[in-house]
């Protein structure tokens, strides 16, 4: 499907941006940089806006969600916005009893532990999202209208991460119930993964159609899996999720391109090749694996994103600067590199440090 002529990629607004070039494997004049969780708790303007609100209510308020998405772009001069939402939003909209509890995270009204539980859950039709996602489309459109040539990245949780929350009933350290269901009830597990893939894929597609110029699939909990389990029981569902975006193309000056897709996971150093093989264009790397080693594991032909250690954001500036320079140097081994964190911005991060880090990345890479 060809994107509408008014889409920022089709109109040429973002197609030649540093971010999109890097995502397409072309090394731009300056290394682009943005931060996972850049929109949120580290910004005083965000905390002020959130007073008296609940997380999911904010995510479903187009005016608030778009404004929060824009805040870090204004403040930090990053090369992309990331849409402010939460991976459980499509679960909420499809009819799942889920709430985000402060200090804990997503909590489900009922854990999905048996084949009968899976049948009950999957009776909820993901097709209702085509209408229910209207607030998300509105929020993306509002943000994009203000960003101009700065791309907005859409995002969604990978099927396994959503399934892990559903089966555990909330956050978990080892996701043992999800891993047990995977092996004890493989048919039920397959139904669950197909359903989460459809739900999260529709969420991602809605954002791109509304104006996002790239898409990122987050698999926060895939690091709990063995390579064999990931390849056999998870990767096919992740491929199905991004298939909702994989067919979207655009044309600028008679040159056709695809909407770039990034795949990121936490603790997934052993899974990088499989994560690329689902059909992703770019692989996000967490802070545990150096980028030159990640590039080697990926065969030297895949754009990478990452991987500044978030813990060093609170270190003395000379320590952080040396680390960032090292990340940039290691990133040069790959075809292209988008600098990011190896996970999200910690909530107590000094925003001025992030602004200074962006300037450092731009200055250092421009001088190379």
The model's pLDDT over 288-300, given as tens digits with 9 standing for 90+, comes to: 999 999 999 999 9
Q: Return the structure tokens found at 285.
A: 């790397």
pLDDT category at 117 given cuts 50, 70, 90 is very high
**pLDDT digit string (tens) for 67-114?**
999 999 999 999 999 999 999 999 999 999 999 998 888 999 999 999
| Confidence (pLDDT) at 247 | 96
pLDDT category at 321 given cuts 50, 70, 90 is very high
| Confidence (pLDDT) at 102 | 84
Q: What positions carry a catalytic annotation?
A: 37, 41, 50, 86, 165
| Confidence (pLDDT) at 76 | 98
| Confidence (pLDDT) at 84 | 97
Listed residue (31, 83, 38, 39) closest to 338, CA to CA:
31
Structural domain spans, the chain: 18-367
The residue-averaged pLDDT of 159-182 equals 96
| Confidence (pLDDT) at 203 | 98
| Confidence (pLDDT) at 255 | 78
pLDDT category at 368 given cuts 50, 70, 90 is confident
Say if residue 51's pLDDT is above 80.
Answer: yes
pLDDT category at 271 given cuts 50, 70, 90 is very high
pLDDT category at 286 given cuts 50, 70, 90 is very high
* CATH (residue range 18-367): 3.20.20.210
């Amino acid at each position: 499907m060809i994107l509408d002529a008014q889409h920022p990629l089709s109109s040429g607004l973002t197609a030649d941006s540093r971010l999109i070039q890097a995502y397409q494997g072309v090394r731009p004049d300056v290394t682009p940089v943005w931060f996972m969780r850049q929109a949120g708790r580290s910004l005083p303007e965000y905390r002020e806006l959130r007073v008296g609100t609940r997380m999911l209510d904010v995510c479903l308020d187009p005016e608030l969600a778009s404004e929060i998405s824009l805040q870090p772009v204004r403040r930090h001069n990053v090369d992309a916005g990331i849409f402010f939402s939460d991976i459980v939003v499509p679960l909420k909209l499809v009819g799942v009893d889920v709430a985000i509890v402060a200090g804990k995270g997503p909590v489900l009204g009922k854990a999905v532990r048996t084949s009968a539980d899976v049948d009950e859950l999957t009776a909820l039709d993901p097709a209702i999202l085509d209408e229910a996602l209207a607030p998300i489309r509105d929020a993306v459109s509002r943000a994009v209208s203000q960003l101009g040539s700065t791309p907005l990245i859409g995002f969604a949780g990978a099927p396994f991460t959503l399934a892990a929350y559903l089966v555990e009933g909330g956050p978990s350290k080892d996701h043992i119930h999800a891993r047990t269901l995977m092996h004890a009830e493989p048919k039920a597990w397959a139904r669950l993964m197909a359903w989460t893939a459809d739900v999260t894929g529709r969420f991602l597609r809605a954002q791109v159609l509304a104006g996002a110029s790239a898409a990122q699939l987050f698999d926060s909990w895939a690091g709990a899996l063995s390579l064999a389990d990931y390849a056999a029981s998870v990767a096919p569902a992740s491929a199905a999720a991004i298939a909702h975006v994989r067919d979207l193309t655009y044309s600028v000056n008679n040159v056709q391109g695809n909407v770039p897709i990034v795949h990121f996971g936490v603790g997934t150093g052993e899974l990088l090749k499989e994560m690329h093989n689902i059909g992703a264009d770019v692989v996000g790397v967490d802070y545990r694996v150096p980028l030159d080693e990640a590039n080697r594991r990926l065969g030297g032909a895949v754009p990478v994103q990452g991987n500044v250690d978030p813990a060093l954001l609170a270190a003395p500036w000379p320590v952080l600067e040396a680390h960032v320079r090292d990340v940039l140097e290691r990133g040069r081994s790959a075809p292209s590199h988008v600098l990011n964190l190896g996970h999200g911005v910690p909530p107590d991060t000094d925003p001025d440090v992030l602004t200074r880090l962006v300037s450092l990345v731009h200055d250092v890479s421009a001088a190379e």
